[in-house]
Each structure stands twice: as C-alpha cells, then as structure tokens.
Amino acid sequence: MRYVVTGAAGFIGSYLLQALLERGHDAVGWDSFTDYYDPALKEQNAASLPVTRIDLATDPLDLLETDGVFHLAGQPGVRSFGGAFPTYMRQNVLASHRLFEAAVRARTRVVFASSSSIYGDAAAYPTREDTVPRPLSPYGITKLAVEHLAYAYGRGFELDAVALRYFTIYGPRQRPDMAFTRMVSSLAEGRPFELYGDGTQSRSFTYVSDVVEATIAAMEKAPAGAVYNVGGGVEVSMLQAIEMLGRIAGRRLEVVRAPRVEGDVARTAADTSRIHAELGWEPQTPFAEGLGAQWRWAADRVAAR
C-alpha cells in the first residue's frame, strides 16, 4: 500500500513510518519541522526515514494514487491559552481542513490523531467514546474541532476518516516537554524533577509501539467514521510512576513541586472495549516494561555525551 504519514518527524509519527516501511509498504512522511520543541530532535527522528518538509497549512497537498493518510501532524500541549491559540488554530484546525480537502479530491482514507484532551474532566471513568466532550484547554478544543471537521466532510463529501483518541503516549524519543522525558532525563542527569501539581493526577499511559499497532489496525480494518479510544491497560498516577522509576533505576528521583498547569486534567482513563471488539486491539506493553525502556533510553543518551 502507498501511505503518507504527516508529522512523520515527531515522536509517534517517526515510529509509525518506520513500522510501515518494515512491513513492506510504500510509505513517505511529511513534516514542517515546527519549533514547538527543538527541530534538531525531529531531524534526528527523521534521519533514516523518507520525510519531506511540507507545511500542511500552506503548501500544495497531492494525495493522488495514495491509499491512505495517517494524519499525526499538529501542535501538541495543553499550554495553549493566550497568545499561543492562533498557532493551535493554524496547525491543528486549518492544516487538517486542507488535508481533508486533499483527501476528498483523491478519494483516499484518513486515520487521524485526536486526543483524550477532548474529554476534559470526564463525567465517568473509564471514559467511553460516547461521553460528552468537555475540553479544558484550547488544545483540546482544536482537536475536537478536527473531529467535527472530519464528520462534516464525511457527511457532505464522503470523506473516509477514522478518529483515534490517543491517551498519553510514552516511550523512547518522547517529546522533551512531556512528563516522562523530563522525569527520566532528570534522574539520568542527577537533577531535580519539577512535578506540576500534587502528583495524584493520573493517566492511561500508552506505550508507543502499542499506539502504532492500533493506528495501523484502524487504517486496515476500521469502518469509515469510526472513533476509538487508544489507551493503556492500567491507570497510573505521577507519584506511582516516580516510585516505579526509582525501583527500575535503583536510585531515588529528587522532586520539587510546582503549580498545576492550567488546562491539565486531573485524570484520564480509557475505556478501550470498542477498539478491542471491532479491531481486536489491546495494549501489550506492561507499564513497568515501557517505563524501563524509556529510562534506558535516557541513561544511554547521558552516557553517550
């Protein structure tokens, strides 16, 4: 199959593109290498991959003779209030709008990354896909807007699109602003870790290779218009993660407290019964195993300096 992966120089996108190539697909990546974090890290992710520099919001988008698009590009992070909001509108909503237009013209399928952030402080846990969304950050609002765009294009122009609501993804090469990268890097470098909030906030942490499998399964088997949660099998608090990292590494992480980040929810917990029933997917990586892999990645980076 011929696939395009947007955001292919990012954390998840680079793993996904590599997996598609290893399975024998004709796959290429698009990425605009934005400066949300150091573009040099994205250059490293993409170093051995066929990634072209394309800005979805402005450049021509040719999807003709493409069997499917994995749309992972977007501006991440809940710190999206104030002056940053126009960037989130451009990178998430406008870019997705233009990609959906191109997919309609080419009659090609799109599997796109949404987020657990659309739920906000959900009404129930574990959270099902039919839960009323109540996002607490402009980031979550823009991701929900992309879902509505896909629905509208599906109804009006027969866009074949599938939405995947990713729940906090971790593993080697995770974005540098995310908690686990900051946590393992702090321990490897002997620095204190800045913990936002009281540490009781919890997530359905999801290992990156499991997310890749769910995303490919959605492209191959999901019906048009489907929406799925993609989340880890267990819910873990930050305090529990810090304790487990100490056991894995055999040393204690020094923690300093910082205020809670505005827009950050207290809890996420994914109900994944729908994706299991319809696509046969379930997470395979135990949390301790995944965190151990991310710790070894961080320790190796420090040792190589």
Whether the per-residue pLDDT at 80 is higher than 90: the answer is no
Rounded CA gap, 224 and 163, in Å?
Answer: 9
Residue 279 resides in a domain = no
Burial class of 66 by CB neighbour count within 10 A (0 to 12, 13 to 18, 19+):
buried
- Considering the domain architecture, whether residues 292 and 210 belong to the same structural domain is answered as no
Residue 119: what pLDDT? 97
- Considering the domain architecture, whether residues 7 and 151 belong to the same structural domain is answered as yes
Q: How many domains does the chain divide into?
A: 2
Residue 177: what pLDDT? 94
- Considering the domain architecture, whether residues 127 and 34 belong to the same structural domain is answered as yes
- Considering the domain architecture, whether residues 95 and 131 belong to the same structural domain is answered as yes
Average pLDDT over residues 121-145: 96
Ramachandran category for residue 301: left, alpha or beta (phi over 0 → left; psi -120 to 50 → alpha)? alpha
pLDDT in tens, 7-32: 999 999 999 999 999 999 999 999 99
Instruction: Indicate the pLDDT class of residue 262, thresholds 50, 70 and 90.
Output: confident
Instruction: Indicate the pLDDT class of residue 88, thresholds 50, 70 and 90.
Output: very high
Residue 79: what pLDDT? 81
Of 253, 268, 276, 232, nearest to 120 by C-alpha is 268
Residue 37: what pLDDT? 93
pLDDT in tens, 271-300: 999 999 999 999 999 999 999 999 999 999
Tokens of 142: 């823009």
Residue 132 resides in a domain = yes
Which member of 3, 88, 119, 139 is catalytic?
139
- Considering the domain architecture, whether residues 80 and 226 belong to the same structural domain is answered as yes
Yes or no: say if 28 and 6 are a contact pair by the CB < 8 Å rule: no
Ramachandran category for residue 225: left, alpha or beta (phi over 0 → left; psi -120 to 50 → alpha)? left
> Any bridge partners for residue 206, and if so which?
169
- Considering the domain architecture, whether residues 69 and 118 belong to the same structural domain is answered as yes
Residue 220 resides in a domain = yes
Whether the per-residue pLDDT at 49 is higher than 90: the answer is yes
Whether the per-residue pLDDT at 117 is higher than 90: the answer is yes
Residue 274 resides in a domain = no
Whether the per-residue pLDDT at 2 is higher than 90: the answer is yes
Whether the per-residue pLDDT at 174 is higher than 90: the answer is yes
- Domain limits for position 75: 2-167+206-230
Average pLDDT over residues 121-125: 93
pLDDT in tens, 178-208: 999 999 999 999 999 999 999 999 999 999 9
- Considering the domain architecture, whether residues 6 and 105 belong to the same structural domain is answered as yes
Q: What is the DSSP letter of 84?
A: G
Q: Share the mean pLDDT of the chain.
A: 96
Percent of the chain scoring above 90 in pLDDT: 95
pLDDT in tens, 97-106: 999 999 999 9
Residue 31: what pLDDT? 98
Residue 294: what pLDDT? 98
- Considering the domain architecture, whether residues 67 and 186 belong to the same structural domain is answered as no
Residue 240 resides in a domain = yes
Whether the per-residue pLDDT at 252 is higher than 90: the answer is yes
Instruction: Indicate the pLDDT class of residue 263, thresholds 50, 70 and 90.
Output: confident
Residue 280 resides in a domain = no
Residue 139 appears among annotated catalytic residues: yes
Q: What is the CATH number of the domain that holds 220?
A: 3.40.50.720
- Considering the domain architecture, whether residues 254 and 147 belong to the same structural domain is answered as no
Rounded CA gap, 20 and 140, in Å?
Answer: 28
Instruction: Indicate the pLDDT class of residue 154, thresholds 50, 70 and 90.
Output: very high
Q: What is the CATH number of the domain that holds 257?
A: 3.90.25.10
- Considering the domain architecture, whether residues 192 and 211 belong to the same structural domain is answered as no
Residue 278 resides in a domain = no
Residue 134 resides in a domain = yes
- Considering the domain architecture, whether residues 137 and 213 belong to the same structural domain is answered as yes
> Any bridge partners for residue 64, and if so which?
none
- Considering the domain architecture, whether residues 253 and 134 belong to the same structural domain is answered as no
